[in-house]
Amino acid sequence: MGERGEVFSTKLIKDDRTYFFNVKENIYGDLFLNIVESRPTNTEGRYLRQSVIVYQEDMGEFIKEFQKSIDYIKMHGTRKPEDTGFQRRRRNIRDQES
């Protein structure tokens, strides 16, 4: 078993956010998925971390519903690929400062 019960971990860094996908093992040997989003706050050196835990017995249903959400976004998404959330937030900040 790894640090903090992690047996596998991978991450995705996108704009100002980092997503961690951690497979962990509890004291009984059961595996679960811990998805963490980390992003900087307005305070230097501080990060906001939010976490979702998906237990092994819920994984199939979780993936099914997650896939439905992805399919919906693919069918109904209208924004241009280059118009990311990060770019929208920067524009909003610039607009507020004007």
Domains and CATH numbers, the chain: 3-97 (3.10.450.700)
| Burial class of residue 22 in the structure, from the number of CB atoms within 10 Å of its CB (0-12 exposed, 13-18 middle, 19+ buried) | buried
| Amino acid 77: pLDDT | 87
* C-alpha Rg value of the chain to the nearest Å: 17
Q: Measured at the alpha carbon of residue 26, what is the angle toward residues 24 and 30, in degrees to the nearest 5? A: 85
pLDDT in tens, the chain (98 residues): 555 689 999 999 999 999 999 999 998 889 999 999 999 999 999 999 999 999 999 999 999 999 999 999 999 987 665 666 666 666 666 666 65
Distances in Å between the alpha carbon of 70 and those of 14, 65, 83?
18, 9, 18
What pTM was estimated for this model as a whole? Answer: 0.69
